[in-house]
């Protein structure tokens, strides 16, 4: 076995790549995990995690230099002073926006598992059956029962805290004890239960923050600084969870600064034999060989890798024979919601900074709830008391003004929707060969937009948010709706979808590329539809499931 | 969902594009006193007094103890657009002019009551202006000074730990904590 030969190659080290590495190494495969960016070591490299607010010269804000350097990231909250180093450089890695698409990336070991929102929800049968029932796109080749045991497996290892709410739309899982709602949220949940007769339940968010110690990880300390990297390892990330487990097997090699430029495809065996890597520091090219390849470069970059591979056989790249590679790009659309004031709780407050909120699962287009669009949306939100940044209309400046601001203000209840986006063939990514990144590699062009179904849904998200908050007793309810663009949900999905037919899908029911059975794609690109739940838990489950299948198939010499 | 929280704070006047180095500070500053490209030590002292008038020492330290003057100069230089920088810098002399007009003396020479009277009037003025201001209209300099004072003070160590309450590692969550008037708010 040559130095560059392994049993398995994993491309990417984010949520799904980390899971692939863990599963493959624990099953005995010598594995190399290739990461395009730098290494970030658990705890040691979380350089801002223990800083106090006053240690940041701009108190977390953005400078003009940052705004100039990050023309895409500046469009939303990710551009900030406290974890700037975790976001990919827009300048080194540009892309072409045929239509506006906000692509927020993490190019380092751990990928976006370091900065993710951690909300973790199972999908239900209604989600896996949706395309078939609506007669759109293609049917998922799997159902809830195929994934359910893998959800349990993923939840038990990742550590998902949540309440067993017994909701058909949002199946219960193997949870750690839930975080608590605050006093206002509890009352709101009670009122909504009465008002909507259980049709619009409000539950505590299910989150990948552990609430009891777990595998050498300390339970959540309620600092709400997750996205700086947690020194307690209290939320799931590659660094806190899958990477140490994979390293413990002695079977894993991690190679940072390794941009996979293509999968090496062998025409005779109709399989991949390895990958080509461009060293991002030295610009040298290397080849690595393995029996099986897991592609987990994130939705858009996994499509990019496939498009650059086996172009001597297929012009559009490996997996393009269906005509679907790079198509059906989805995200969750957001930026629509409402907030209002809650009265009567002036003698109540809270202790600790809970990095979680409440969740109202999908209710639209279920049962008798019929809409002028298909699918649905969920809401995430929370109740809290205003702080010093509130306006005090009757005061201007001075001691009285200052002392008033040192006390908490009124309780505010707010929430925002996460809406399902449909898989449209013409929402797509392609290669833009006219433009090169820092390493001379062609960039992607993204051509995707919200369409009629999503735009109608956004009107309903705004209207229903007002109705729900008013039903909850909120006063002065204000709604908002902004930036109807894809990408900002940071839930890219669908560019190499699973399906039942090689003519209409890129991957089969086991996440295998139809055209190269030893290549498995288990990040968001595999998704056939988007549902409206946060998707990462599903990637974890599908990755573990695919890895289990891959190793069994390898042993039987089927791949 | 935490990552979706809008950082509303005081609606900091940030953003916009950099038009390039367009400098408007005239040669009245001696370089030795400069604290950065835009401001000198006198500006810091002046802004600290403006800050202290907005958020004075009460039972807890005031804005000057947090050196908000210095904080303002950092923020305006690094974070403001050139257009807003210009407004802010001109605002320093506008404020002095307003003081001279009202009391016949510069702001630094005015007593505490006069300063409070002046800045209260300016705050009423900026609130009225901001209410009807269109997005493309210029910002009011006193709104900038007030916002930066609040941000700089309440996120400073004295502001967060003495005017407010701050616990770096809470260790637990209690969503039903009794509250009585006078209890301080959490800093974050």
Alpha-carbon distance A82 to A54, whole Å? 11
Q: Name the minimum distance, in Å, from the CA of A383 to any CA of chain B.
A: 10
- Partners of B53 on chain A (C-beta within 8 Å) are 397-398
In A211-250, the residues whose Cβ lies within 8 Å of chain B are: 221-224, 226-227
Residue-wise pLDDT for A189-227, tens only, equals 999 999 999 999 999 999 999 999 999 999 999 999 999
Sign of CA dihedral B10, A381, A158, A537: negative
For B151-171, the pLDDT digits (tens) are: 999 999 999 999 999 999 999
Over residues A82-87, mean pLDDT = 97
What's the total number of domains in chain B?
A: 1
Task: Give start and end residues of each alpha helix (H) in A119-221.
Answer: 125-128, 130-134, 144-158, 183-196
pLDDT tens-digit profile of A241-281?
Answer: 999 999 999 999 999 999 999 999 999 999 999 999 999 99
pLDDT by residue (tens digit) across A23-39?
999 999 999 999 999 99
DSSP calls for A323-348: S-TT-S-B--B--EEEEEEE-S-TTE
Residues of A in contact with B58 (CB under 8 A): 399, 402-403
Find out whether A327 and A428 touch, Cβ atoms under 8 Å. Answer: yes
Tell whether B30 is covered by a domain.
no
At B167, list the tokens.
């616990």
Asked if residue B118 belongs to a domain, the reply is yes
**pLDDT above 70 as % of chain A:** 100
Low-confidence ranges of chain B (pLDDT < 70): 1-32
Interface of A with B in 192-211 (CB under 8 A): 205
Q: Which residue of B has its CA nearest to A218?
A: B171
Contact at CB, B163 and A406, closer than 8 angstroms:
yes
Provide the number of CB pairs (under 8 Å) joining chain A to chain B.
195
Report yes or no on B25 lying in a domain: no
Q: What pLDDT, on the 0 to 100 scale, is given for residue B31?
A: 56
pLDDT tens for A481-523 read: 999 999 999 999 999 999 999 999 999 999 999 999 999 999 9
d(Cα A240, Cα A226) in Å, to the nearest integer? 12
| Residue that has been written with the tokens 């809270």 in this structure | A350
So what's the pLDDT on residue A1?
52
B122 domain-assigned? yes
d(CA A548, CA A20) in angstroms, rounded, equals 10
Measured in degrees and rounded to the nearest 5, phi and psi for residue A351 equal -125, 135
Query: Which chain A residues contact residue B155 at CB under 8 A?
Result: 53-54, 59
The confidence score (pLDDT) of residue A390 equals 93
Q: Rounded to 5 degrees, what angle do the CA atoms A277, A281, A282 make? A: 75
A58/B3 CB distance under 8 A:
no
- A230 within 8 A of A46, measured Cβ to Cβ: yes
Interface contact B1-A117, CB threshold 8 A: yes
Residues 140-179 of A with CB under 8 A from B: 179
Facing B120 at nearest CB: one of A350, A397, A405: A397
Is residue B102 situated within a structural domain? yes
Beta-carbon contacts of A403 under 8 Å, excluding residues fewer than 6 positions away, are B58, B59
Residue A512 host element (H or E): strand A512-513
| Mutation choice for B interface testing from A396, A482, A536 by most B CBs within 10 A | A396
d(CA B9, CA B5): 11
Neighbours of A251 (CB within 10 A): 20
Q: Which of A556, A553, A381 is nearest to A461 (CA)?
A: A381
CA–CA min distance A461, chain B (Å): 16
Residues of B in contact with A406 (CB under 8 A): 60, 163-164, 184-185
Helix, strand, or coil (residue A307)? helix
Contact between A108 and A37 under an 8 Å Cβ cutoff? The reply is yes
Nearest in space to B63 (alpha carbons), one of B184, B165, B148, B186: B148
**CA dihedral sign, ordered A501, A504, A509, A510:** positive
Q: Among candidates A124, A82, A161, which has minimal Cα distance to A357?
A: A161
Q: Is the ipTM of this structure higher than 0.90?
A: yes
CB A35 within 8 A of CB A275: no
Tokens of A502: 């090689």
pLDDT at A393: 87
3-class secondary-structure state, position B163: helix
Judging contacts by C-beta atoms under 8 Å, the chain A residues touching residue B81 are 64
Q: Is the dihedral of CA A548, A495, A37, A45 positive or negative?
A: negative
**Shortest Cα distance from B58 to chain A (angstroms)?**
6
Residue count of chain B, please give it.
Answer: 188
- Average pLDDT along chain A: 97
The predicted structure's pLDDT at residue A3: 85
Of A384-393, A396-405, A425-434, B2-11, which gets the smallest average pLDDT?
A: B2-11
Residues across chain A: 559
Summarised one tens digit per residue, pLDDT across range A112-159 is 999 999 999 999 999 999 999 999 999 999 999 999 999 999 999 999
Across the interface, of A61, A115, A352, the residue whose CB is closest to B172 is A352
| Residue B23 belongs to some domain of the structure | no
Owning domain of residue B55: 41-163
Contact B123 A348 (CB under 8 A): no
B145 domain residue, yes or no: yes
Q: Which residues contact A149 (CB under 8 A, 6 or more apart)?
A: none
Asked whether A71 and A93 are in contact (CB, 8 A), the reply is no
| Per-residue pLDDT reduced to its tens digit, A348-387 | 999 999 999 999 999 999 999 999 999 999 999 999 999 9
CA–CA dist A479, A336 (Å, integer): 8
Residue B7, domain member (yes or no): no
Backbone φ, ψ for residue A433 (5° rounding): -75, -5
Strands A428-436 and A442-447: antiparallel
Six-digit token string for A80: 């900030």
Is A348–B179 a contact, with Cβ atoms under 8 angstroms apart?
yes
**Contact A51/A231 with Cβ under 8 angstroms?**
no
| pLDDT tens sequence across A285-332 | 999 999 999 999 999 999 999 999 999 999 999 999 999 999 999 999
> Exposed (0-12), middle (13-18) or buried (19+): which is A200, by Cβ within 10 Å?
buried
Residues A402 and B179: their CA atoms lie apart, in Å, by 19
Chain centroid, CA A87 distance in Å: 14
């Amino acid at each position: 076995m040559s130095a560059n030969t392994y049993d398995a190659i994993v491309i990417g080290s984010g949520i799904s790549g980390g899971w692939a590495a863990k599963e493959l190494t624990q099953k005995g495969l010598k594995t190399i995990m290739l990461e395009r960016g730098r290494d970030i070591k658990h705890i040691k490299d979380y350089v801002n995690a223990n800083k106090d607010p006053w240690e940041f010269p701009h108190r977390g804000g953005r400078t003009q230099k940052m705004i100039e350097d990050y023309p895409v990231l500046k469009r939303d909250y990710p551009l900030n002073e406290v974890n700037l180093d975790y976001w990919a450089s827009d300048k080194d890695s540009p892309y072409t926006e045929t239509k506006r698409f906000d692509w927020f990336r993490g190019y380092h070991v751990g990928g976006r598992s370091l900065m993710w929102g951690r909300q973790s929800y199972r999908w239900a049968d209604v989600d896996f059956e949706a395309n078939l029932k609506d007669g759109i796109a293609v049917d998922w080749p799997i159902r809830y029962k195929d994934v359910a045991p893998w959800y349990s497996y993923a939840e038990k290892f990742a550590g998902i805290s949540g309440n067993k709410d017994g909701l058909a739309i949002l199946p219960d899982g193997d949870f750690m004890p839930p975080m608590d709602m605050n006093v206002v949220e509890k009352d709101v949940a009670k009122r909504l239960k009465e008002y909507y007769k259980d049709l619009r339940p409000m539950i505590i968010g299910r989150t990948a923050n552990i609430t009891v110690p777990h595998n050498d990880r300390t339970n959540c300390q309620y600092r709400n600084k997750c996205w700086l990297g947690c020194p307690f390892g209290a939320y799931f990330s590659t660094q806190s969870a899958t990477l140490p487990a994979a390293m413990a097997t002695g079977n894993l090699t991690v190679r940072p600064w390794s941009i996979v430029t293509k999968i090496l495809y062998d025409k005779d065996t109709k399989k991949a034999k390895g990958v080509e890597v461009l060293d991002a520091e030295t610009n040298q090219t290397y080849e690595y060989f393995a029996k099986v390849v897991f592609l987990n470069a994130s939705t858009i970059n996994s499509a990019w890798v496939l498009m650059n591979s086996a172009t001597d056989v297929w012009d559009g790249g490996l997996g393009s024979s269906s005509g679907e590679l790079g198509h059906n790009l989805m995200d969750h659309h957001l930026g629509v919601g409402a907030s209002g004031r809650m009265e009567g709780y002036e003698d109540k407050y809270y202790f600790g900074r809970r990095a979680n909120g409440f969740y109202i699962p999908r209710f639209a287009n279920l049962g008798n709830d019929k809409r002028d669009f298909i699918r649905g949306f969920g809401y995430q939100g929370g109740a809290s008391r205003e702080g010093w940044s509130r306006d005090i209309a009757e005061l201007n400046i001075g001691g009285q003004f200052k002392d008033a601001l040192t006390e908490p203000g009124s309780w505010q209840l707010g929430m925002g929707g996460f809406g399902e986006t449909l898989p449209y063939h013409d929402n797509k990514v392609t290669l833009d060969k006219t433009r090169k990144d820092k390493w001379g590699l062609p960039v992607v062009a993204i051509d995707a937009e919200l369409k009629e179904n999503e735009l109608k849904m956004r009107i309903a998200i705004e209207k229903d948010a007002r109705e729900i908050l008013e039903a909850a007793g909120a006063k002065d309810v204000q709604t908002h709706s902004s930036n109807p663009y894809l990408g900002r949900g940071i839930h890219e999905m669908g560019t190499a979808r699973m399906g039942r037919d090689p003519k209409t899908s890129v991957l089969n029911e086991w996440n295998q590329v139809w055209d190269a059975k030893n290549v498995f794609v288990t990040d968001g690109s595999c998704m056939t539809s988007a549902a409206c739940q946060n998707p990462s838990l599903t990637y974890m489950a599908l990755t573990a499931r695919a890895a289990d299948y891959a190793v069994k198939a390898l042993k039987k010499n089927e791949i | 969902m935490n990552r979706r929280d809008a950082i509303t704070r005081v609606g900091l006047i940030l953003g916009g594009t950099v038009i390039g180095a367009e400098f408007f500070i005239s040669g009245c500053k001696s370089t030795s006193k400069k604290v950065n490209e835009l401001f000198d030590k006198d500006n810091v002292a002046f802004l600290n007094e403006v800050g202290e008038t907005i958020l004075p020492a009460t039972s807890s330290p005031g804005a000057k103890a947090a050196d908000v003057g210095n904080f303002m100069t950092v923020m305006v230089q690094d974070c403001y657009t050139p257009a807003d920088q210009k407004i802010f810098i001109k605002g320093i002399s506008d404020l002095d002019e307003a003081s001279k007009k009202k009391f016949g003396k510069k702001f630094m020479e005015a007593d505490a009551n006069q300063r409070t009277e002046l800045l209260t009037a300016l705050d009423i003025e900026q609130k009225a202006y901001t209410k009807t201001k269109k997005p493309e209209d210029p910002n009011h300099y006193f709104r900038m000074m007030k916002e930066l004072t609040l941000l700089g003070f309440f996120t400073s160590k004295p502001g967060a730990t003495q005017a407010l309450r701050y616990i770096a590692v809470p260790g637990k969550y209690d969503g039903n904590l009794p509250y009585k008037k006078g209890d301080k708010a959490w800093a974050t």
